[in-house]
Amino acid sequence: MLPEEHLEKRGITDPAVLHAIRSVAREEFVPAELRAEAFDDRPLQIGFDATISQPYIVAAMTQLLEVRAENRVLEIGTGSGFQAAVLSCLVAAVYSVEIVPELARSATERLGRLGYANVFVKEADGSLGWPEEAPFDRIILTAAPLQIPDALLGQLAPGGLLVAPEGGPEQQVLILVSKSAAGECSRKTVFPVSFIPMRRT
Ligand code: SAH
């Protein structure tokens, strides 16, 4: 089965999302020795306790964000840069924060080399967001906090959407937060997930 058929069978139906996933060369985002496995639908280790998320999860979270071409998106947990690259095909700009210096550096180099000019990577603790660039129309967390940090909810624009894994190592769920035009947040639980924990400084 082609990877995209596999995604469609699991409910990824947004043609723009499927197109974006197809257009990013996943093998460029995994260590050389794992290239043969780049298209398996599972997370792969990329060093420094980080993983590149499985294609289905990247697609599902991207679809949940209902992005629009003019959106500015904040990502917490750059890792390999794969999720940021997928989003960058669909939106105006992606601001991605990574706490591990080596990963921030290698993702910056990789995204630049592959021509993703609308992705900006910063080395910092993502639980604080990126205040200088806030507010964001969409926010995505790819490391799991015990609770979604208030700073991130605060940096979400009115009418915005945030998707995040939340919870401890025993039990995590994907949460979708919508912020109303009046600035009130409501939460929906989507499905159980398993992300690496968000580090704290
Ligand atoms: N989105 C990535 C997958 C990320 S794995 C991809 O597409 O490849 C989770 C990442 O979150 C790891 O790189 C980890 O170092 C990072 N991380 C963990 N805690 C963080 C924090 N507090 N702030 C920013 N990044 C964090």
- DSSP secondary structure, 86-143, as one string: HHHTTSSEEEEEESSHHHHHHHHHHHHHTT-TTEEEEES-GGG--GGG--EEEEEESS
The residue with greater pLDDT, 3 or 11, is: 11
Locate the ligand 1 atom nearest the alpha carbon of residue 53 and give its number. Answer: 3
Catalytic residue, chosen from 53, 80, 96, 127, is 53
* Of 77, 51, 49, the residue nearest 139 (C-alpha): 77
Distance CA 132, CA 122 (A): 12
* Span 123-177, pLDDT tens digits: 999 999 999 999 999 999 999 999 999 999 999 999 999 999 999 988 999 999 9
Q: Single out the residue of 158, 151, 145 nearest to residue 185, CA to CA.
A: 158
Token duo for residue 98: 């990574």
How far is the centre of ligand 1, averaged over its atoms, from the C-alpha of 58 (Å)? 13
Closest ligand 1 atom to 201 CA: 22
Q: For residue range 15-27, what is the model confidence (pLDDT) as tens digits?
A: 999 999 999 999 9
Q: CA–CA separation, 141 vs 126, rounded Å?
A: 9
Ligand 1 mean position, distance from CA 82 (Å): 11
Residue 157 has which token pair? 């624009």
Strand order in the sheet with 156-167: 119-123, 93-98, 72-76, 136-141, 156-167, 172-179, 185-193
3-state secondary structure of 163: strand
Q: What is the pLDDT of residue 170?
A: 86
Where residue 52 falls among pLDDT bands split at 50, 70, 90? Answer: very high
Ligand 1 centre distance from Cα of residue 184 (Å): 27
pLDDT, tens digit, 9 for 90 and up, residues 58-112: 999 999 999 999 999 999 999 999 999 999 999 999 999 999 999 999 999 999 9
Reply yes or no on whether 180 is catalytic: no
Site residues for ligand 1, CB cut-off 6 Å: 50-53, 76-77, 79-80, 82-83, 97-100, 103, 125-127, 142-143, 196, 198-199
Give the nearest ligand 1 atom to 84 CA: 7
For residue 54, what pLDDT is reported?
Answer: 93
- Residue 3: predicted pLDDT: 63
Nearest alpha carbon, ligand 1 atom 2:
79
Query: What local confidence, expressed as pLDDT, does residue 4 receive?
Result: 65
Can you give the pTM of this predicted structure?
Answer: 0.97
Interval between CA 182 and ligand 1 midpoint (Å): 31
Atom of ligand 1 nearest to the CA of 46: 8
CB atoms within 10 A of CB 44: 18
- Nearest CA residue ID for atom 13, ligand 1: 79
